[in-house]
Amino acid sequence: MEYLDLLYNDLTAKGIVHPYWVVGLIGAALVFFFIQLHYYLGRYGRLPRFRNNRGIRQDIPSPPVSVVVVVRGNSFYFIEHTLPLLLGQQYDEFEVVLVDCSYDDEIGEILREKSLVVPNLHVTCIRQQSHHEHSIKLALTVGIKAARYEHLIFTTQDSYPVSEKWLSLMAKGFICGDVVIGYCGIEPKKGMANRWMRCSRLMTSVRYLSAATRGKTFRGTEHNIGYTKSLYFDSRGFNHLNMNIGVDDLFIQKIVRADNVSVVMNPNATVRQIQYGGLGWWYGVNKYFGHAFRYYPAKARRAVRNELSSRFLFFATTAAAAALLPVRWIAVPLLPALLRLLIVELKMRRIGRRLGEKKFGGTYILYDFWAPLGGFLMTLSRRIRPNKAIWR
């Protein structure tokens, strides 16, 4: 009580009319501080210790796998650079199924010629219809039906595996479940924009990976995900057919249970998405795919919003208290802020190592401050100017 009386007198001497308002700000900041600890020490903090292979017998073989990729648009880079990485995976029994939706005769001919000389490459084609572009869901359905094996791994033409062990690690996930969720980061490049994108992708992935490890899966990533044929057909295929999005979140929510999901986190199981542009490109990508968020389960939406809002309110109340307090009391709100910053930085570095992310360092501190406001502005933008391209 002596400290409170001393603080009250100092605030009164500074000219604060209602000193208990400042005390209330400090109390509110501490409440939001502990909410943040719940996320970063509790929910997200478990990821560095998570091991998907605990309890798996080493003599149980991984199943044969079909890797399904939809080929669209200008695919020459994929054919020259990514396809050899897929075909060169160190795995005993697998095939690569390409669904050719490029509507380009030259690309189609190249793919057919390759399939004649590569035994485990299978190519199927969807013919173009006048004034109509086939949806990604139709293309994936064609690929699933064409696949030889029961267990399917999906990736995209604009992403590539970082290791020859990628497929073996993802396929091993099927020993624990019928749905396998992996990680996809942005390819490392020089520049602040690239580090910003990688921080954003890492934080987004941490949310759904941590939920999946707790049996509350609400999404994966189309660049690195797997499930069985039986699960797909038993659920009668993709849902939300009037949308061009949702293959890795809305459909996953339809097929997952608490006990059928396997999470694979290993630097060698990571794939990288090609960076096609700067922050404007990244903003457009996130805005487009983010339209599915409103259809997520209420608990998943609430968890994301609570973390971001508690982070924003913690920063706001801490800054307000620090501005109003006398100098000798300013450490009271700033110490929890510095402690949280240290915890977040250490946790994200540890999680990043599990996923093959390195050298984003100080950029994450800036992203940490910006993310709540950026998330709000993104949501507002989707509400005011929705992207009609998501609808068929």
| DSSP state for residue 249 in the 8-state scheme | T
Closest CA to 283 of 157, 357, 379: 379
Both 179 and 267 in a single domain? yes
Task: Out of 291, 324, 351, pick the residue that ends a domain.
Answer: 291
Average pLDDT over residues 102-115: 90
Both 261 and 362 in a single domain? no
CATH of the domain at 212: 3.90.550.10
pLDDT for res 52: 75
Both 186 and 219 in a single domain? yes
Closest CA to 144 of 87, 70, 61: 70
Q: Is the pLDDT of residue 237 over 90?
A: yes
Both 36 and 83 in a single domain? no
Q: Is the pLDDT of residue 17 over 70?
A: no
Average pLDDT over residues 210-215: 94
Average pLDDT over residues 223-229: 97
Contacts of residue 99, Cβ cutoff 8 Å, sequence gap at least 6:
68, 69, 70, 71, 124, 125, 126, 139, 140, 142, 143, 146
**CA 392 – CA 377 distance, rounded (Å):** 26
Q: What is the pLDDT of residues 157-172, one digit of tens each?
A: 999 999 999 999 999 9
Both 159 and 285 in a single domain? yes
Task: Out of 234, 261, 291, pick the residue that ends a domain.
Answer: 291
Vertex 240, ends 234 and 246: CA angle to 5°? 90
Evaluate whether 268 touches 165 at the Cβ level (below 8 Å): yes
Q: Which residue has the higher pLDDT, 176 or 33?
A: 33
Q: Is the pLDDT of residue 66 over 60?
A: yes
Q: What is the pLDDT of residues 119-132, one digit of tens each?
A: 999 999 987 765 66
* 3-state SS, residue 277: coil
Give me the number of domains the chain comprises. 2
Q: Write out the residue range of the structural domain in which residue 142 sits.
A: 55-291
Task: Out of 243, 264, 291, pick the residue that ends a domain.
Answer: 291
Both 11 and 64 in a single domain? no
| DSSP state for residue 391 in the 8-state scheme | B
